[in-house]
Each structure stands twice: as structure tokens, then as C-alpha cells.
């Protein structure tokens, strides 16, 4: 039994997640976070990394100075799952 969300389930979940978008060709959700400086971006990444380790579910991300581009997908399920939505929700909170 697959835990992969349907496109409708993904869109429903993203309706409450500001800034996240579904990229069908990547089977992933993505968001770019902007911070005041590198230190704030690094702090965000540190908090997200601690949660990722706890959940054993890690983001794909790219950081330059105050910008962190995040991609979430569940490779084992070949698409978006509750793990991705949970991480996205937490990251929005960390960035607030």
C-alpha cells in the first residue's frame, strides 16, 4: 500500500502551506525561504536538520547567503507523502 499523496491531496495540503508549490515533473514540493542574513538562514537550516534527523526524512536544499531553496519528496514512495507535508509545515514555523 502506497503512502504517496494524490495530486489533489497535495494541493489540498498546500492550500494551508504558504509559499510551497507542487512540481509534478519532480514529484516534489518546493519553496524558497528568504532571511535577513546568512546567520538566520543557517539557524533555520539547523532547526530543520534536527527535525529531519528525528524523522529520518531529509530535505534537498541549496543555500546561498540569505536564501534557502528546499525540495521535499519521499524517494521510497516516489512522490509526496505526509512526511513531506509535516516537514514543510515545520519549516514554515521555523522561518516565522
For 46-73, write each residue's pLDDT tens digit: 999 999 999 999 999 999 999 999 999 9
Position 69 in a domain: yes
Q: How many domains does the chain have?
A: 1
Q: Which domain, by its residues, includes 90? A: 7-95
Position 91 in a domain: yes
* Model confidence at 1: pLDDT above 50: no
Cβ burial, residue 28 (10 Å; 0-12/13-18/19+):
buried
Position 79 in a domain: yes
The C-alpha cell that represents 83 in the structure block: 512526511
pTM: 0.92
Position 2 in a domain: no
The C-alpha cell that represents 90 in the structure block: 515545520
**CATH code of the domain in which 73 resides:** 3.30.1360.20
3-class DSSP assignment, residue 34: strand
Residue 88 CB contacts under 8 Å (≥ 6 apart), including other chains: 17, 20, 29, 31, 70, 72
What's the pLDDT score for residue 59?
96
Mean pLDDT of the 29-33 span: 98
Position 1 in a domain: no
Amino acid at each position: 500500500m502506497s503512502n504517496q499523496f494524490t495530486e489533489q491531496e497535495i494541493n489540498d495540503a498546500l492550500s494551508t502551506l504558504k509559499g510551497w508549490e507542487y512540481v509534478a515533473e519532480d514529484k516534489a514540493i518546493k519553496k524558497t525561504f528568504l532571511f535577513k542574513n546568512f546567520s538566520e538562514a543557517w539557524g533555520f537550516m539547523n532547526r530543520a536538520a534536527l527535525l529531519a534527523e528525528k524523522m529520518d526524512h531529509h530535505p534537498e536544499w541549496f543555500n546561498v547567503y540569505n536564501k534557502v531553496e528546499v525540495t521535499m519528496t519521499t524517494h521510497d514512495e516516489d512522490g509526496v507523502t505526509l512526511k513531506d507535508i509535516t516537514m514543510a509545515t515545520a519549516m514554515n514555523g521555523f522561518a516565522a
